[in-house]
Chains A and B, each alone.
Chain A
Amino acid sequence: MSILAKLFTRRKRTKSAKIVTLGTSGAGKTTLIRYLETGREVEDTDTTLGIDIRNKGVRVGSWNLSTIDVGGQELYRNALWGLAVTQSDGIIYVIDGTIRADKDQDNFARSKLSFEYMLNIINGRKPILVLVNKQDLKYLNPYSVEEAIEVYQVSSEVRNRPFFVISGSAKFGENIHAGMEWLIDSIEDIKR
């Protein structure tokens, strides 16, 4: 085999990583995983009441991704998020963008608490992709990236960790590709 062919083979070699989706219940974590698995619009999904670890169901470029989907209810957050984060190379934190501080204070407080909980359990420099989800529900005036960064105080909370905030729709896959590319590049940088 020529040197070029060897290089080409090496470049094409499939790499693998584990990603975990976190966020409050109903934020769209399972929907995002289903979209990543199928590349198609996602119908309604069941609430995840526990944890679901799937091996290499998601392909992004030359990467095979295993996914860890964890329920967002407090019961599962306390018992399973830490375990899920330990097992993962990268985190996707899904925010329900339609839960606004000015309209639904209680749910927003829960959502922010959940975000802070996630940051507290992440050790090291695992990349965090924050998806401000449900942009397809325009009539509910979902947060933009700028608004979410401000109300969730992302810049100060995330501190020295690699993070990237996108807005999009897990249901329709809007803007998801850009976020996944960033996540994969960040995981590759850390693994290198």
Chain B
Amino acid sequence: MTELQDLRLQAYCPKCKRTSWIEVSMDELDLDVNNRSESRVPIPLTREVSDSGLFKRSLSHGDHILLLEIDKNGTVRKEHVVSLVSSVVENIVTQTVERIIQTAKTPESDGGTMLYASYSTPFRNFFKSVLSILMLNIEDESSFHTQIEHSHIEIFYNRLSIIEGGLEKLREHYKGKRVTSLTIDLGSLEESYVIGVIKDFSLQDSTITIAYNSRNLGRTPTILLNYLIGKGYSNISLFDYATGQGLSNIIEASFENIIR
């Protein structure tokens, strides 16, 4: 009997532009040994085998997954790239929409004003996605209205107000007014600048969340955090959304004071 050897395949990742080798083990693939003739490449049978006879293998490439479709001859027929960040963010968008609807409908909720100061495109896009999905899921439109402008997005739903925009814009509109939560996407802003601006907000008993991207910033922004701790604010968070997952922390923290 001829011993089955592992298949060694070359795979190209269009996202990171590199070529790597993968080994498809015979044991792992549970080959259809009975139907195999010794002269041809064994047919790998896995749960992933489709009607077309292609089977799938995935390779983890950090922030994305390379998905390969391999045919019976051991040739890579298709490569797909699945962004982990995108899929994580999609889930968080859905969770956020559910959170907003649940909060707006909860009778015990006092509602509140939630400000999100954002400077980065991914963060702003996140809120645009939230708004799009939210609009599709609103049942009672009489208690819901939105305003979308170039510089900001406003969502009003029952007693809940969610406003996303630049920090300066938010300061202009909410100076001295009580806000329930303030989330600041640090982006490339200097922490000392943010400290200067947030002095104008009325933040006693508010939840203050600093959002940052450790990949872009290259460090953890502790100056602002130390300032807020020193000022004795009650609820302070600092979360890193480099992988997308931190958005979930950010949203949860910002809703913390809405329903007790």
A positions within 8 Å CB-CB of B: 46-56, 71, 75-76, 79-80, 83, 87
Whether B235 contacts A87 by the Cβ 8 Å rule is no
The answer to whether the Cβ of B109 comes within 8 Å of any Cβ in the partner chain is: no
**Can you name 11 A-B residue pairings with CB atoms under 8 Å?**
A47-B245, A49-B249, A50-B238, A50-B240, A50-B246, A52-B237, A52-B253, A53-B237, A79-B220, A83-B229, A87-B229
Closest chain B CB from A156 CB (angstroms): 32
Size bin of chain B's contact surface: 20 to 34
Interface residues of chain A: helix, strand, loop or mixed (majority) = mixed
A50 to B237, CA, bound (A): 8
> CB-CB < 8 A to B237: which residues of A?
50-53
Closest chain B CB from A131 CB (angstroms): 22
> CB-CB < 8 A to B219: which residues of A?
79
Given A47-B245, A83-B226, A54–B256 Cβ distance below 8 Å? yes
Closest chain A CB from B91 CB (angstroms): 11
A50 to B238, CA, bound (A): 5
Whether B249 contacts A46 by the Cβ 8 Å rule is yes
Given contacts A49-B242, A50-B237, 10 further A-B contacts (CB under 8 A): A48-B239, A50-B220, A52-B237, A54-B234, A71-B240, A76-B220, A76-B240, A79-B219, A80-B238, A87-B229
- B229 closest partner in A (C-beta): A87
Closest chain B CB from A184 CB (angstroms): 21
> CB-CB < 8 A to B253: which residues of A?
52
Kindly list the 3 A-B residue pairs having the minimum CB-CB distance in the complex, ordered from nearest: A79-B220, A55-B234, A50-B239
> CB-CB < 8 A to B220: which residues of A?
50, 75-76, 79-80
B positions within 8 Å CB-CB of A: 214, 219-220, 222, 225-226, 229, 234-243, 245-246, 248-249, 252-253, 256
The residue that A49 contacts in the complex, of B226, B235, B239, with Cβ under 8 A, is B239
A84 to B247, CA, bound (A): 22
Whether B214 contacts A83 by the Cβ 8 Å rule is no
A147 to B260, CA, bound (A): 40
> CB-CB < 8 A to B240: which residues of A?
49-50, 71, 75-76
A100 to B240, CA, bound (A): 30
Whether B249 contacts A83 by the Cβ 8 Å rule is no
- B252 closest partner in A (C-beta): A46
- A73 closest partner in B (C-beta): B240
Whether B236 contacts A49 by the Cβ 8 Å rule is no
Whether A79 contacts B235 by the Cβ 8 Å rule is no
Closest chain A CB from B254 CB (angstroms): 11
Whether B222 contacts A83 by the Cβ 8 Å rule is yes
> CB-CB < 8 A to B234: which residues of A?
54-56
- B243 closest partner in A (C-beta): A49
Whether B236 contacts A46 by the Cβ 8 Å rule is no
> CB-CB < 8 A to A54: which residues of B?
234-235, 256
Whether A83 contacts B239 by the Cβ 8 Å rule is no
Whether B222 contacts A49 by the Cβ 8 Å rule is no
- B211 closest partner in A (C-beta): A50
